[in-house]
């Protein structure tokens, strides 16, 4: 199969651009805007809907992420080797993925409805948030649609034969452009929106995901810190340099 320049651009260049922006942007943000690095929660203004929508969205999303990792990282041959047939794999992926995808979508629908209808929450919504919501919802919808249409249409398009090899090939810096180009349009759209999401990620409130506080499980309850972290914590002022 021949690859034209658009495919090269989309599946050979764009992913790396995305990674550069994602990593670079995150480092930049962490270095220069730690103060802005927050969930910017609006629970103070409204909690009834949030308490339904937010867990639905977040837990759904966690399952979706796990599903993506499994689907993209583990080659079909491996699952086959442990005795999971293609059909079985697809049925479970469809069922689990479908449920998780729907809760994610329902969750974010509730959250957006809440955001739009609760006065103070809407006032606290920035343009940045709005853009982020559009991309995020688009990614979820595209993903869910691809999954469902793929199954319903009986097209049986197997992303594990097209998208996953391409995804893995990215890591060895030899993008398998041809196999990705052969995937269906649905996957293309979902992948592109997904990449867009990762590109804007570091510049939106989504960054809070990168600091999920897992260390909480291991640290002592009471944290002591020395004032200002000792003399080196702050650049010395002119005339006050250490001798």
Partner 1 sequence: MRVMAQIGMVMNLDKCIGCHTCSVTCKQAWTNRGGVEYVWFNNVETRPGQGYPRRYADQERWRGGWVRNRRGRLQLRAGGRWRKLATIFANPVLPHISDYYEPWTYDYETLTEAPLGDDFPVAQPRSLLTGEPMQVEWSANWDDDLGGGPEVGAQDPVVEKLRRESEDAVKLDYERAFMFFLPRICEHCLNPSCVASCPSGAMYKRAEDGIVLVDQDQCRGWRMCVTGCPYKKVYFNHRTGKAEKCTFCYPRVEVGLPTVCSETCVGRLRYIGLFLYDVDRVGEAAAVPDEQDLYEAQLDILLDPADPDVVRAARREGIPEDWIAAAQRSPVYKLAKEYRVALPLHPEFRTMPMVWYVPPLSPVVDRLTETGHDGESAANLFGAVDALRIPVEYLAELFTAGDPEPVRDVLNTLAAMRAFMRDVTLGREVDESIPAAVGMDGAQIMEMYRLLAIAKYDERYVIPTAYEGEAHQLEELACSLDFEGGPGMGGEGPDGGPPFGEASGRPVPVSVETFHALADRQTADDFGDTESRRGRVNLLNWDGRGRPEGLFPPRRTAAERARDGNGSPPPDDGDGPAGDAR
CA separation for the pair 118, 130 (Å, rounded): 15
With CA atoms as reference, report the closest residue to 188 among 166, 155, 172: 166
Q: Which stretch binds partner 1 (CB under 8 A): 30-38, 79-87, 157-165, 167-175?
A: 30-38
Half-sphere exposure of 222 (CA within 13 A, CB side): 1
List Cα–Cα distances, 83 to 77, 86, 87, 88, 233, in angstroms: 10, 9, 11, 10, 56
Residues in 46-85 at the binding interface with partner 1, rule: CB under 8 A: 46-47, 50-51, 54-55, 57-59
**Annotated binding residue 45:** no
Nearest-approach distance from CB 130 to partner 1, in angstroms: 15
Least distance in angstroms from the C-beta of 197 to partner 1: 19
CB 88 → partner 1: shortest distance, Å?
A: 31
**Which tokens in the block code for residue 72?**
């993209």
**Token couple for 123:** 């006032």
**Among residue numbers 183 through 242, which ones bind partner 1 (CB under 8 A)?**
205, 208, 211, 213-217, 219, 221-228, 231, 234-237, 240-242
Span of 31-39, 89-97, 98-106, 127-135 interacting with partner 1 by CB under 8 A: 31-39
123-152 footprint of partner 1 as x/- string (CB under 8 A): xx----------------------------
Q: Give the angle 112-113-119 at the CA atoms, nearest 5°.
A: 100
Both tokens assigned to 101 = 């995808």
**Which of 16, 28, 78, 113: binder of partner 1 (CB under 8 A)?**
28
Nearer to partner 1, 2 or 123 (CB): 123
**Residues in 89-128 at the binding interface with partner 1, rule: CB under 8 A:** 119-120, 123-124
Give the DSSP H/E element, type plus range, for residue 71.
helix 48-73
Contacts of 179 (CB under 8 A, 6+ apart): 161, 162, 165, 166, 169
Q: Which residue has the tokens 């203004």?
A: 45
Residues contributing to the site for partner 1 (CB under 8 A): 28, 31-47, 50-51, 54-55, 57-59, 119-120, 123-124, 205, 208, 211, 213-217, 219, 221-228, 231, 234-237, 240-242
Please give the annotated binding residues for heme b, written as ranges.
58, 68, 190, 208
């Amino acid at each position: 199969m021949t690859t034209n320049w658009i495919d090269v651009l989309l599946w050979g260049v764009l992913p790396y651009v995305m990674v550069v922006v994602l990593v670079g942007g995150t480092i930049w943000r962490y270095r220069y805007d730690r103060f802005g690095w927050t969930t910017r929660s609006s629970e103070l203004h409204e909690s009834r809907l949030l308490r339904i929508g937010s867990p639905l969205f977040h837990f759904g999303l966690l399952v979706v992420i796990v599903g993506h990792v499994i689907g993209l990282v583990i080659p079909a041959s491996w699952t086959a080797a442990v005795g999971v047939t293609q059909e079985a794999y697809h049925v479970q992926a469809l069922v689990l993925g479908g449920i998780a995808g729907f809760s994610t979508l329902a969750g974010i629908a509730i959250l957006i409805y809440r955001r739009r209808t609760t006065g103070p929450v809407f006032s606290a919504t920035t343009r940045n948030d709005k853009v982020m919501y559009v991309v995020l919802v688009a990614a979820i919808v595209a993903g869910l649609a691809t999954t469902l249409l793929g199954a319903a249409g009986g097209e049986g398009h197997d992303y594990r034969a097209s998208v996953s090899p391409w995804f893995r090939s990215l890591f060895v810096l030899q993008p398998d452009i041809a196999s990705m180009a052969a995937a269906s349009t649905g996957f293309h759209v979902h992948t592109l929106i997904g990449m867009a999401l990762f590109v804007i990620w570091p510049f939106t409130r989504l960054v809070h995901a990168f600091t999920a506080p897992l260390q909480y499980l291991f640290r002592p309850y009471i944290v002591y810190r020395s004032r200002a972290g000792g003399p080196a914590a702050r650049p010395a002022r002119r005339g006050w340099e250490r001798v």
